[in-house]
Amino acid sequence: MGSSLPLLLFSRKKRCKAIIYANDRTRDGFSEEVFFLKRARIIYNPTSGRETFRRELAKVLERFEEAGYETSAHATTGEGDATNAARIAVERRYDLIVVAGGDGTINEVVHGIAEAEFRPEIGIIPAGTTNDFARALAIPRDINKAVGIILNDNHPKALDIGKVNDQYFINIAGGGDLTELTYDVPIKMKSAMGQLAYYIKGIEMLPFLKPVTTRIEYDDKVFEGDIMLFLIANTNSVGGFEKLAPDALIDDGYFDLLILKKTNLPEFLRIATAGIRGTHLEDENLLYTQAKRIKVTPKEKMLLNIDGEYGGELPGEIINLQQHIKFYVSNEFLTKELETKRNLLQLEEGSE
């Protein structure tokens, strides 16, 4: 029996490679056993979190190869590099982009694919400080388990993203003095102290918080007044807290909008404490609603926070791009989402 001669084919329709063997003949010419090799690109931030992913990279590459992915990796070198790497992945038509990093790295990758006609699916390995988006999708920080969600659970789901002016976000857009702390905290402090670094910085800022007169248009309604901050949430996980927008869904085309009106320091601390417990939504100083399109116009200088990073200055118009990108999610996320939808439906039926 002669040796098998491998032939490498490329299928445009399936966007993957096929390996067949010339001597594995059947009545149709070749063996029906054709192995399709998908292509994955890992984009990782080598400085995220405590730099643990970089040490595990070889093992992760091996797992994806064993699962049938032709896999390569790119280590980001600075701000904007993950966006460029994602654009290259789109041009080369990778089937999957795996992002290993925090919310900022995921945000950059989304910027690289959001406007493309062909958009690879995205898998996430949480390696940042807060990992709000990964937490919302119930993806664990454990690298092996996160890889398992991509390779074993295999649930790519089309999710919403947000667009504000010419920028995109996956999790949160906000404004007000306190929202600035997420990008004011030094990288070394975040790496050494984790989420505690944000709490320390927030306590430092409390005495200096001041309200700003702001006009906020949301769908067909308008709010105008002095506010301490506003948050536009795409998920239920905001700043490490999972109860600020407890009913947020990531595929319904709506944002959850929270506006904190002018308060003094004791009132602010009381509302913040209630937010941790999830008992804040009925407070008279807080406006909580849902909207697809939101326009924010402050009367004074107000900076924009996008997924924990500096996003320029307001004004800005924020729109929801419903089910725009497919992300790999966990079974736990699917169960929680279904439960939330059932609860919301029961509330609607009860109010009729």
Per-residue model confidence as pLDDT tens digits over 188-204: 544 544 444 444 445 45
Residues 143 and 45 in one domain: yes
Count the residues in the chain: 352
Residues 110 and 205 in one domain: no
Positions marked catalytic: 309
In a domain, 30, yes or no: no
pLDDT of residue 181: 52
| Identity at 136, one-letter amino acid code | A
pLDDT of residue 352: 61
Residues 176 and 278 in one domain: yes
Residue 15 has pLDDT above 60, yes or no: no
Residues 290 and 238 in one domain: yes
Q: What is the CATH number of the domain that holds 76?
A: 3.40.50.10330
Reported as a single tens digit per residue, the pLDDT across 194-244 is: 444 444 445 455 556 788 999 999 999 999 999 988 999 999 887 667 777
Given a contact cutoff of 8 angstroms between Cβ atoms, the answer to whether 160 and 133 are in contact is: no
In a domain, 341, yes or no: no
In a domain, 286, yes or no: yes
In a domain, 94, yes or no: yes
d(CA 115, CA 167): 11
Q: What is the CATH number of the domain that holds 224?
A: 2.60.200.40
Q: For strands 303-306 and 309-313, give the pairing.
A: antiparallel
Identify the residue with better confidence: 147 or 183.
147
In a domain, 55, yes or no: yes
How many other CB atoms are there within 10 angstroms of residue 117's CB atom?
5
d(CA 115, CA 322): 14
In a domain, 148, yes or no: yes
Residues 177 and 221 in one domain: yes
**How much of the chain, in percent, has pLDDT values that exceed 90?**
55
Residues 100 and 190 in one domain: no
Task: Give the predicted TM-score (pTM) of the model.
Answer: 0.81
Mean pLDDT over 135-148 rounds to: 95
Residues 223 and 280 in one domain: yes
Tell me how many degrees the CA angle 98-104-105 measures, rounded to the nearest 5: 25
Residue 13 has pLDDT above 80, yes or no: no
Q: Which domain holds residue 176?
A: 169-322
In a domain, 9, yes or no: no
In the predicted model, what is the mean pLDDT of the chain? 82
Residue 29 pLDDT grade (very low, low, confident, very high; cuts 50, 70, 90): very low
Residues 274 and 178 in one domain: yes
Residue 112 has pLDDT above 60, yes or no: yes
In a domain, 163, yes or no: no
Residues 108 and 56 in one domain: yes
Residues 237 and 98 in one domain: no
Report how many domains make up the chain: 2
Residues 144 and 177 in one domain: no
Residues 145 and 211 in one domain: no
Mean pLDDT over 137-166 rounds to: 94
Element (H, E) at 35: strand 35-44
Burial class (CB in 10 A: 0-12, 13-18, 19+), 211: middle
